[in-house]
Amino acid sequence: MISLKNISFSASSEAGEKEILKNISLDIEDGFVAITGPNGGGKSTLAKIIAGIYKPTSGKILLDGVDITDYSVTERAKAGISFGFQQPVKFKGITVNDLIRIASGRDITVSDACDYLSQVGLCARDYIDREVNGSLSGGELKRIEIASVLARGTKLSIFDEPEAGIDLWSFGSLINVFQKMHDNIGGSIIIISHQERILNIADKVAVLSAGELKAYGAKQEILPELYDSMNETCKVLTDNMKEVKA
């Protein structure tokens, strides 16, 4: 279980200090939790704080009761946290096979690589020797990114908008990937997403907006409220959207 205790995060910009996360407290137990909310609400920042990429300005993070607030990215990875980037990082020379090998922490065979890559809809034979660079499409990079998290098999996996850049065909498989992960590995899966289909398979949903935790609870309780509140946010926008639909 991961617990966030009064997490705040500020970043300085030309306009001065900006508070991006305000006193967030959240307990995420085993299961599938989706974090959603409007753009700029602080979701990605929160994910990066859990992975250790950003240090919170104040507050504490506990993993299974152990205070990991001061752990580096590496120490958190070793403690059992994985992070799938929203925008996968590109390399020069590092191949798909290298990435899966590093992620799994052991030398892997083609058949091992195949286990992970086939789950994200890629044929290992076609991909293992390819460099993780701009010659791969955005969707391919994204799937490889997800495969690298699968290969780690840790007790906590965080995905930052995994559906971004994934085509429609893959979307269904992606949902299966998360369900299978949940069944096989157990532990917690945190997914930041705007996609209704992803929110629908979550056990719990957290809503983050303007740096604050607006709601957190079982999907059945949160989702109806969420959709209602969305309709209230901006009348002009909803009216216009209705017109477009019509």
Partner 1 sequence: MTDTEKQLLKIIADMDGEPQGAYNIRANGALQARSTTENIDIRTKEDKPGIDIIIKSGTKGETVHIPVIIDATGLNDLVYNDFLIGENCDVTIVAGCGIHNCGEKESRHDGIHSFFIGKNSRVKYIEKHYGEGDGTGGRNMNPTTIVNVGENAYMEMETAQIKGIDSTTRVTKAKVEAGGTIVIKEKIMTHGTQNATTDFTVDLNGENSGAQVVSRSVAKEHSTQTFKSCVNGNALCHGHTECDAIIMDDARVNAIPQVNANHIDASLIHEAAIGKIAGEQITKLMTLGLTEQQAEQEIISGFLK
Query: Which residue ranges make up the site for partner 1 (CB under 8 A)?
Result: 51, 53, 72-74, 77-78, 81-83, 85, 89, 91-95, 98-99, 102-103, 105, 148, 152
Nearer to partner 1, 94 or 185 (CB): 94
Q: Helix, strand, coil proportions of the chain in percent (round to 5)?
A: 40, 30, 30
Query: Is the Cβ of residue 139 or residue 153 nearer to partner 1 in the bound state?
Result: 153
Closest separation in Å from C-beta 88 to partner 1:
8
Tell me how far, at minimum, the Cβ of 82 lies from partner 1, in Å: 7
Q: Tell me whether residue 82 or residue 119 sits nearer to partner 1 (CB atom).
A: 82
Work out how close the CB of 145 gets to partner 1 at its nearest, in angstroms, rounded to a whole number: 9
Give the C-alpha separation, 18 to 12, whole Å: 6
User: Minimum CB separation from partner 1 for residue 75, in Å?
Assistant: 9
Residue 199: CB minimum distance to partner 1, A: 25
Question: Is the Cβ–Cβ distance between 118 and 96 less than 8 Å?
Answer: no
Segments in 52-130 forming alpha helices (H): 73-79, 96-104, 110-119, 124-127
DSSP reduced 3-state for 150 = helix
Residue 151 or 199: which CB sits closer to partner 1? 151
Question: Do 168 and 145 touch, CB atoms closer than 8 A?
Answer: no
Residue with smaller CB distance to partner 1, 7 or 81:
81
Residue with smaller CB distance to partner 1, 142 or 152 = 152
Which residues share a beta bridge with 28?
Answer: 2
Sheet containing 58-63, strands listed edge to edge, beginning at the edge strand earlier in sequence: 16-28, 2-13, 58-63, 66-67
Shortest distance, position 77 Cβ to partner 1, whole Å? 4
Residues whose CB is less than 8 angstroms from the CB of residue 134 and which lie 6 or more positions away in sequence, other chains included: 90
Q: Which among 181, 222, 233, 224 has a CA at the least distance from the CA of 34?
A: 222
